[in-house]
Chains A and B, each alone.
Chain A
Amino acid sequence: MKNLISYKLILISLLFAGCQENFLEEPTSSIIDPETLLTSKTGAEVYTVGAYDATRNVIASNWPGWLNIWGVIAVDEVVLPGWSQFKPIYLHTLSPSDNTIRTLWENMYVSLNRVNSVVDRVGAMTEDQISVTDRDKLEAEARFLRAIINFALVSSWENVPLMKNETVSLKNLEVAQSTPQEVYSFIEEDLIFAKNNLESSQGGGKATKGAAQALLGKVYLQMTGHPINDASYFAKSEVELKAVIDSNVYNLMSYYPDIFTLENEQNQEIVFSFGFDGPSMEQGGRIGTLYGPLGTSINGGASGNNWYVNWELAGPATGAGNTGNWSKGKGGKPRNNHPFAQPYTDDDIRTRNNIAKTHVNRGYMTGAIWPDDAMFGSIRNEWKGNWKPWKWHNIRPSNWGNDTPLDEAYIRYADVLLMYAEALNGQSKLTQADADMTVNLLRARARLFPDEVKDETLLPNLTVGTQQYNADEILSERRKELCFEGWRRNDLIRNGVYYQAINSSQPVWSNSGNPQPQYTPNEIRWPIPASELQINSKLIQNEGYN
């Protein structure tokens, strides 16, 4: 009896204990292990896609995106209403503890590490895992994306830690800043590798040889201005941009509004853009929210914390409530358009496309057809206080809200043409023929309306003049053509006129405040976030901030 019971007990014990190997191991079916992923070409491709996602997350308008925060706010394209959280950027009252700057800095480096991880890990794959050609191509894509992030970092903060590799250990996490020259050299190295290992095609959103060359041309051009200030890069820029033009991969869209539609996002004019789609796929962007007319989203409006257009870009107004001299700002203060910041004329298709002069709810009430009536119809020219940037056109009803499916351009062929003209002019060798195949192509397109071509007198062609005159015209044309695409601040800085541009900025809203009195020269760059200085003793705050 006793034996029987002991036997039973042992049995029960075994039953309940249920011996098991690795009882304390957590199975990892719901996470991805990069080590096991990166053993084949397919795995390497999946991992490289992650680099695109990482770059898009910080540069494009998965908010806050660098193109918008750095390139649009705080230049002469928009003004911000009183409730905007981006007010300190607009007003140039940024403190190192500003939340937006901190978030952007943090996101930039998180993304940079992800891209570095692709460069390092894909680059280290062996030939039995992936062919050398495939590996180099994927590495080149990642290095192109890394150049985009580093270019944004060095543009915005100038003195930034240069992270060349993925972080793999918790040791030695404090890294000192590099000089802007060192960062630019690293960008150059990446882009040269990229252009040498990528194929020439439009790419449909993938990095290509043309994209790498266009960006290299852009980077070289930027190096001619602050903080590198080396005019010898005009020539290098010219070479890269000429190669893009000569590749015949890209061309201008004939009708300006067609560039920004959902139907043909990867059109022939797109050299590189960030892909978005949606709605509700966690792949949506924010340009529909940041830029769009006033009103409820169901009616096609962009609700939310958005900004208003700077009147000095917007051009004349003729509608109700806009009586008086449009060229006078609120309170009758004189406006201050610079030669490099000319306004749209009313018959420039780009003002029709890029600026919403109406409140969509009103149009909706009158049964307007969207967006045609907003651009050409009777409901244009609402009260100026309602004017808003609106470049990428939502259909009505907008099913997107904050979740816009529109791709966001990074470099357009129009940009390449204007940069090419600028590179030539920088070397004092811009000819009328050059102007005709660049600036004047864009002006001709701007005169093209749906059913007519406007007279040339309304938007005359550029006749090449002095180098300064040409430079002003090109810079002004860049604003009209590329406004809200995120390059204005770099353009102004490169041309040495950033301060003058802020100085002229004309508030529309009484409450938007005026950035001009607050500006001090050190604010050409952003402060290093205070939180980062606190935990990294090797960092030095940018001059003038404390």
Chain B
Amino acid sequence: MTKLIISKFSITTFLAMLVLFCSFTTVYGQQSKVKGTVTGDGSLLPGVTVAIKGQQVGSVTDFDGNFEISANKDDVLVFSYIGFKTQEVTVTGSTLDVNLVSDVSKLDEVVVVGYGSVKRKDLTGAVSTIKSEEIEKINTTSFEGAIAAKAAGVQVVRSEGGPDAAFKIRIRGGTSINASNDPLYVVDGFPLTGGGINTSTEMGNSATSPLATLDPSNIASIDILKDASATAIYGSRGANGVVIITTKQGAPGTSRISFESFLGVSTLASKLPILDAQGFIDFRNNYQRWDPIFLTSDPGSGQAKYLAESFRVPDPTTGYYVPMDLANMTFDPPLLIDDWQEAITRNAITKNYKLSASGGNKKTRYNAALSYQDREGIIKTSGIERYSGNFNITSKVNDKLQAGFNGNVGYINRSGVVSAATDNGQGRAGVVTNAVLFQPIQSPRIWPENEYDPETGRLIANRNGDVINPMLMLSENTMNGVTNQTRLNTFVSYELFKGLTYKASLRGYTSSVKNKAWFSERFGWSRALGGKAVTSFFNSASLATEQSLSYLKDFGEHRLNAVMVYERQKNTSESLRTASTGFTIPNYNLDGLQDAVTVEPTVSNAFESSIESFLARLQYDAFNKYLLTASLRYDGSSRFASGDKQWGYFPSVGLAWRISNEPFLMGNSVISDAKFKFSFGESGNTQIPTFQSKSAADGAGYIFNGSTLTPGASIIRLANDNLSWEKTREVDFGLTLGLFDDRITMEADYYDKETKDLLLAVPVPVTSGYQTVFKNLGLVSNKGFEFSLNANIVDNRDLKWNMNFNISTNKNKVLDLGGADEFYVTSIGGGGVNNDYVIRVGEALGSIHGLAYDGVYTYEDFVEFDGMTLEEATAAFRADEAALGNGAMWWSMNSYTLKEGVPVNATVTNGTYRPGMTKFKDQLTVDTDGDGIADATDGIINDDDRHIIGNTLPKHFGGMTQNISYKNFDFSVQTSWSYGNDVYNKTMRKGANTAVPWRNKFDIVKNAWTPDNPTGTWTGFSGGGPSGDIGSAAYDVFIEDGSFFRIANMTLGYKLPKNMLKQIRMSFLRLYVSIDNVHIWTKYSGWDPDVSVGNDQLTPGLDSDAYPRARTFRTGIVARF
């Protein structure tokens, strides 16, 4: 109810403001003497203040940038406008055209630091700022995509390729294991945890940004607080960094209406290397040879005969079956051949419209925008539709009293597909995995264990329904959702006396997410259920209040800025899930859950958490040279055990020395600015589930009398009265440098942070009844170096060339796990693989754990083929095969013995091997000299041979942006890279298994060992028999180098010149064409190495069933009236 009122209120307010403020278009005028036009940055500037120096006379430019003022000759006119350098021009005649130069000085840039702002030159902490121009260039649905590779020390990884896919942001590395590693987002003062919101229900693990309803083009700036001096002000929630988002505000002056629109076309950026139709034919025919015995008999279950004949045709003369050759044979009726990757994707259209109004006068400023986006996903049927409104108004009631109100309302209607599925088999994987694994050609032979559509004769699912026709999944299954979000902030401030201001803010947030999914009764796992419909709701609300006193005072050479804040926030959330199975009325399911055969039990949940804080910060500047920032926050959080453990202090101190203001550097021709920084502080992390400190029982019902469900309860958690937050201590050394009048600026930082008292799910002896208990134990370290550079290489009147570059390194290391050496983690994607990630003391988070693939056992490894040449061995092996008869294949001859010294596989008894089985590299697992370090192999491949086979954290990453403008043209190129990170290609593993002939394969199987290809290094075929594979382990061959260099965006724009603008009565018009994801250079064979599916922060860099990545061509217009 509250939510409804708020959203109604906000919409009416918004509309009222649009109407109200559009009429503010005011022109002040006096008797004309001097006329002129003011332009700036290619735009006619309305609202520029024009004043006569030394007099109280002034004017403002009108809608078209025109002004009139009565002035005497030789009067000096002062033109001032926010964002531009103030210009003074002497009156010489009756006309005066002025071109204002934008104020690019980064030093005077205002940086939002939380509970206040400072000028960049006064900053003692490490803060990266990204401005709206940069945010608007790459158009992703949520803002995260736009800040990728823009800020040093901020790693942004896209979860997958879908239209509103979530991103994972890591600021200076992951600090925690079981608590969240997501930064705190602060949107116009409202604190919000940065984790993704689930957009899938029942199946799949896709997620979207918590700020997906906020149109990124409404953001004025994003300030990313990185070091402890900056983040400690957010206390118990600051340890993962803080992303402060400030939405656009109006500027005093004439009001302005702008219209923006773009049209985009997205296409599949790359294809996975899988077998085509002929490739699949060859694979199947290699898998099963044809034997004349099939003409007369059907040995075994008939499967061998089917496999032998399904992609062969009888030779008309001999009657013997020969392989199909698509290039040289004709087939009647034609064969059914599909490229499923093509079939499921499309050229997806994105349409975006935005209308905004902004402006104000000396007392009141406002900005309001409404935007609509319709973005199709490149996989058919997927896409989002978003309505987003944003408004911002501040007003000075009088000299002392000021009030403001801003908000954001958004609505997203999403249609999607299952991706990043937890499991596979029976069509449980998403449409992408099914498109990869579903056979690209249908055999004309009917096989009773397959399922066919009775009407079209098309294959629905292969043997046992394992893999499903992806087009059928797209047309039958749905995965839809609706998200509503509202954020409202309001404040009043009052200057009690000169320099001392009291401010009270009230902030509210509501979010409601509804996801619903339908899984068809026609195929797959849901077929046996008669179809399944699931609806889930997730509602949350949060209310925060903040009261602050701030004091600003100059004492000659000394400046003081102090702030004290009392803040509290309460969050509530509720979830509800209902599901039904067994639908008999066609096309009536999701919206008629009650009419199903079985209605599943409804699941509901509610959580509440709260935080209460006192904080203070002091900034002191002496002689413009010595800067000190000190802050202290005292936080109480409900997540921890009642009493003392709920409360803690988070202090920080930052020092800076502006050496460039020392006499010996003043006026230096090269160094225009130089500052050394040092900071130290402590911040915390509270992000664990609620109630973890309390003892609890959970529902545990049971069935009596065959079918009577009886409610029950069972103990699930032990109380922990000592649970408190994680603490991260961080030291930062920094240098900022400006050269040649700040045409080149750079910033370098080194940091060292250590997180202790981790909120760790620590294993305890399970005889206690508990596998893990949340305790404050453990130590994780992150150290890194960041460098960023901004250079105005050319800065002429007509030609401007700006370059921006940043690079970061981070070294993450787990130092202590509370006594344990390691924890294993199993990633999503199923396939029986377990423990494929490890958290191990001395190693980095994100380590992948598994076996080293060593190709296959070859003839040389066997006693039976000892001393034979390759030809002799092949002949002997073929002779053994021929002896089997009945069309039986060599891959069932598990009767060979490995030579002494050849590593054996613990799952296969020696004497039952054959050439072509998977071979692994034996690892050093035996400690012969007792020094605690393994130094010998044991000759057996088993779990002990699993080791770290990859790390998903990059050695360095960064980005570079070039902005070039010539007259009215502008051109920009944005690039990004990551180096040294591994990606775990789990999708490929599913398509590389040569034991199962029914599914399509990756190209890698072309190199499978066979007697005809005895130098093949990929695992040979096996008819469900031992392939030598150890299915429970990850293999290093599926760990690929994920390094990449990407041209993320190229944009070419044209701004209409002044005279043309005047003709069409516009103040600004820019047309542009743009390409997102232009090109990527990488060795990675999957869709894109910038991937990390699933919600588990302990399995980064995972590519399993991921939505593919698009390349987008856009053309757009920005017009201002």
Contact = CB atoms under 8 A, between A and B. Distances in A.
A266 B528 CA distance: 26
A26 B638 contact: yes
Contact of A52 (B506, B601, B642, B712): B712
Given A51-B714, A281-B601, A513-B908, A16 B506 contact: yes
A418 to B, nearest CB: 25
A34 B695 contact: yes
A234 B153 CA distance: 74
Contacts of A496: none
B771 interface: yes
B773 A170 contact: yes
B612 A91 contact: no
A349 to B, nearest CB: 23
A279 B580 CA distance: 10
B453 interface: no
Contact of A279 (B464, B529, B711): B529
Contacts of B330: none
A5 interface: yes
Interface string A147-191: 000000000000001010011111001110000000000000000
Given A91-B909, A401-B529, A205 B712 contact: no
Contact of B702 (A25, A114, A275, A400): A275
B545 A17 contact: yes
Contacts of B566: 17
Given A9-B494, A109-B767, A277 B545 contact: no
Contacts of A511: 894, 1022, 1024-1026
B84 interface: no
Interface stretch (A216-224, A295-303, A430-438, A484-492): A295-303
A514 B715 CA distance: 43
A205 B909 contact: no
B705 A266 contact: yes
Given A30-B606, A47-B713, A88-B907, A23 B612 contact: yes
B943 A12 contact: no
Interface stretch (A69-77, A192-200, A359-367, A468-476): A359-367
Contact of B568 (A23, A276, A283): A23
Interface string A265-301: 1100000000111011111000000000001111001
A93 B907 contact: yes
Contacts of A9: 494, 502, 504
A229 interface: no
B894 A105 contact: no
Nearest to A273: B706
Which bracket fits the contact residues of B?
35 or more
Contact of A109 (B600, B612, B642, B768): B768
B1032 A85 contact: yes
A282 B601 contact: yes
A24 B767 contact: no
B533 to A, nearest CB: 11
Contacts of B504: 9, 12-13, 16
Interface string B523-547: 0010111100000000000000111
A277 B703 contact: yes
A54 interface: yes
B894 A510 contact: yes
B703 A26 contact: no
Nearest to A5: B494
A265 B706 contact: yes
Contact of A281 (B301, B600, B769, B834): B600
Interface string A103-127: 0011001101110110000000000
A168 B718 contact: yes
Given A163-B767, A175-B765, A401-B529, A280 B579 contact: yes
Contact of B766 (A18, A110, A262, A362): A110
B606 A48 contact: no
A280 B529 contact: yes
A361 B529 contact: no
Interface string B611-647: 1100000000000000000000000111100100010
Nearest to B450: A361
A27 interface: yes
Contacts of B764: 170, 173, 535
Given A12-B504, A385-B300, A513 B763 contact: no
Contacts of A246: none
Nearest to B526: A401
B638 A173 contact: no
A248 interface: no
Contacts of B712: 46-53
A352 interface: no
Contacts of A205: 702-706
A265 B703 CA distance: 11
Contacts of B694: 26, 28, 31, 33
A50 B581 CA distance: 27
Interface string B426-453: 1000000000000000000000110100
A83 B579 CA distance: 33
A532 B764 CA distance: 8
A206 interface: yes
A85 B832 CA distance: 8
Contact of A112 (B608, B709, B769): B769
B582 interface: yes
B936 interface: no
A386 interface: yes
Contacts of A109: 766-769
Nearest to B640: A24
Contacts of A54: 700, 714
A98 B502 CA distance: 64
Nearest to A32: B697
**Most chain A CB inside 10 Å of its own CB: which residue of B610, B702, B763, B771:** B702
B193 interface: no
Interface string B400-433: 0100000000000000000000000010000000
Contact of B907 (A87, A206, A281): A87
Contact of A399 (B582, B610, B767): B582
B912 interface: yes
B364 interface: no
B769 A113 contact: yes
Contact of B703 (A110, A175, A275, A518): A275
Contacts of B768: 109, 113, 167, 173
Contact of B605 (A12, A30, A283): A30
Contacts of B767: 109, 161, 163, 173, 175, 532, 536
B449 A33 contact: no
Interface string A379-405: 000110110000000000111110001
B775 to A, nearest CB: 8
Given A53-B701, A173-B768, A12 B528 contact: no
B143 to A, nearest CB: 29
B598 interface: yes
A307 B449 CA distance: 19
B25 to A, nearest CB: 34
Contacts of A97: 943-944
B598 A113 contact: no
A50 B568 contact: no
Given A49-B711, A53-B714, A204-B706, A31 B909 contact: no
B932 interface: no
Contact of A46 (B713, B908, B909): B713
B598 A513 contact: no
Interface string B938-954: 00001110000000000
A280 B1024 contact: no
10 contacts: A5-B401, A27-B608, A28-B691, A49-B702, A53-B701, A169-B718, A281-B709, A301-B464, A401-B426, A535-B764
Ranked nearest first, the 5 interchain pairs of A and B with the lowest CB-CB distance are A113-B769, A49-B712, A50-B714, A275-B703, A511-B1025
Given A26-B690, A205-B703, 15 more contacts: A16-B546, A32-B697, A34-B713, A46-B711, A49-B713, A50-B713, A83-B1024, A95-B906, A113-B768, A167-B769, A264-B706, A362-B449, A385-B300, A399-B530, A401-B525
